[in-house]
Amino acid sequence: MAWDFQTDPEFQVELDWIDRFVRTEVEPLDHVLGSPWNIHDPRFKQLVKPLQAQVKARKLWACHLGPELGGAGYGQVRLALINEILGRSLFGPIVFGCQAPDSGNGEILAHYGTPAQKQRYLQPLLDGDIVSCFAMTEPQGGADPAVFTTQAVRDGDDWVLSGEKWFASNARYAAFFIVMAVTDKTVSVYEGMSMFIVPAEAPGVHIIRNVGIADDPAATHAYLSFENVRVPASDMLGAPGQAFVVAQVRLGGGRVHHAMRVIGQAQKALDALCERSLSRSTQGSRLADKQMVQEKIADSWIELEQFRLLVMRTAWRIDHYQDYKRVRKDIAAVKAIMPKVLHDIAARALHVHGSLGVSEEMPFTGYIVRSFQMGLADGPTEVHKVTVAKQLLRDYQPCDELFPDYHRPTAAARAREKYADVLAGLSELEP
């Protein structure tokens, strides 16, 4: 009997410290600083660096990493509990050295980088001295890699990249990009794309423009162009044609880490919903006493707990199998449901806060926009639902009892036949 929903007391001490630290020191930064990835901002150096030093001293820095890379090697279940708290603040992940896309890019470099690449890119990334960018999506489409046209052509000891990328997060602050490009047009993109490290200062890399999210100019996603950008052959990550194999190293973990942080945001919205309901009175009673508000609170808690359990179970399965492929359905399910959970809870909290709810002093409009981002970044919800269904159908074992084969009696017909005598006796007794 191995089911267990408890946190061991020693780790709970760490979680309590993280919770206090994030609420008092980190959450306020969301209201005064711009992008968490703008590590070049002097205010970042003044306000964020000292907090990062405290996290390092507490040995909680980069907890997503194994001990060989300087992390605590906590595994995904413990990471989920930490990320729930970090998700409460935009600055939580960067203060703890586990922000996307750098965490995933670091994992790629750790798996596929040469010693020289690790020294040049991975170490400063792990130390928090640089940030990075992952460029896969193209202007003509992100959900369908078959339309990708950015290409890399071999020229002597180099590859020469040309093409455009779209919505590459934090490119303007990044020291390097990890870029996917077609290296063999004669096969499908899944066998013909390769992954490259491109330094931001490489000649031919241009930011055409930076795009903000909704009314938040701090969040920047770049429209990039690569104009005959020359990279040495050694800067290919993995073998030629392996881009999607390499990408899975970051996408599997990245998706579930987003979900862990979304729990924190949804919990913050639910906390606010409860607080508002208890503190606001109208028409003779507290909001908390009105059944339509109670329904909002109950639905929010139930949906959040369902989601949290799915995320925790997925984290447990990743730790257990150590193989993202075996947990693909679970990760896709978490990714697909995450936007709706965040959206619905944030929308209820916003509504119960009245006019204050739509104001920029509350996080709800931001959460609602973020719920849509979560439904797009790392692939649209529809694509992940298709993955869930395909995996379910692939593993489905036809069950003889229920199989709707009209040439054989169904389970219902067989049951009636089996108990025909009893049923006949009963009908004789009927008036």
Ligand X SMILES: Cc1cc2nc3c(=O)[nH]c(=O)nc-3n(C[C@H](O)[C@H](O)[C@H](O)COP(=O)(O)OP(=O)(O)OC[C@H]3O[C@@H](n4cnc5c(N)ncnc54)[C@H](O)[C@@H]3O)c2cc1C
Q: Which of 85, 135, 231, 352 binds ligand X (CB under 6 A)?
A: 135
Task: Tell me how far apart the alpha carbons of residues 29 and 51 are, in angstroms, rounded to a whole number.
Answer: 11
Give the Cα-Cα-Cα angle 425, 429, 431 (nearest 5 degrees): 145
DSSP state of 24: I
- Give one DSSP letter per residue of 247-290, joined into a string: HHHHHHHHHHHHHHHHHHHHHHHHHHHHHHHHH-EETTEEGGGS
What separation, in Å, do the N-terminal and C-terminal C-alpha atoms of the chain show? 52
Closest distance to ligand X from the beta carbon of 341 (Å): 17
Question: Which of 266, 359, 367 has the alpha carbon at shortest distance from 311?
Answer: 266
Binding of ligand X by 214 (CB under 6 A): no
Residue 106 Cβ vs ligand X, minimum distance, rounded to whole Å: 15
Range 73-102, binding ligand X (CB under 6 A): 101
Residue 192 is a binding residue for ligand X (CB under 6 A): no
Ranked by CB distance to ligand X, the top (closest) residue is: 142
In DSSP terms, which residues pair with 198 in a beta bridge? 177
The one among 89, 105, 132, 137 contacting ligand X by CB under 6 A: 137
Helix (H) or strand (E) holding 7: none
Question: In 5-97, which residue ranges form alpha helices assigned H by DSSP?
Answer: 9-21, 42-57, 76-86, 92-95
- Chain residues 193-212 in contact with ligand X, contact rule CB under 6 A: none
Binding mask 379-398 for ligand X (x = CB under 6 A): xx-xx---------------
Residue 145 found at the interface with ligand X (CB under 6 A): no
| Binding-site size, ligand X (CB under 6 A) | 21
How many Cα atoms sit within 13 Å of 210 on the Cβ side?
13
Q: State the nearest-atom distance from the C-beta of 51 to ligand X, in Å.
A: 24
Name the one range near ligand X by CB under 6 A: 6-14, 56-64, 86-94, 371-379. Answer: 371-379
- Closest distance between ligand X and the C-beta of residue 120, in Å? 21
Check binding of 141 to ligand X (CB under 6 A): yes
Shorter beta-carbon distance to ligand X: residue 221 or 348: 221
Main-chain phi, psi angles of 142, to 5 degrees:
-110, -30
Q: Among residues 244, 226, 205, 250, which one has the least CA distance to residue 377?
A: 250
Residue selected from 149, 162, 373, 391 as contacting ligand X according to rule CB under 6 A: 373
Site string for ligand X, 405-424 (x = CB under 6 A): --------------------
Minimum CB–partner distance for residue 133 and ligand X (Å): 6
Burial zone of 325 (CB within 10 Å; 0-12 exposed, 13-18 middle, 19+ buried):
exposed
Given 168, 263, 273, 334, the residue binding ligand X (CB under 6 A):
168
Site membership for ligand X, residue 136 (CB under 6 A) = yes
Distance CA 353, CA 345 (A): 13
Residues that bind ligand X (CB under 6 A): 101, 134-137, 141-144, 167-169, 221, 373, 376-380, 382-383
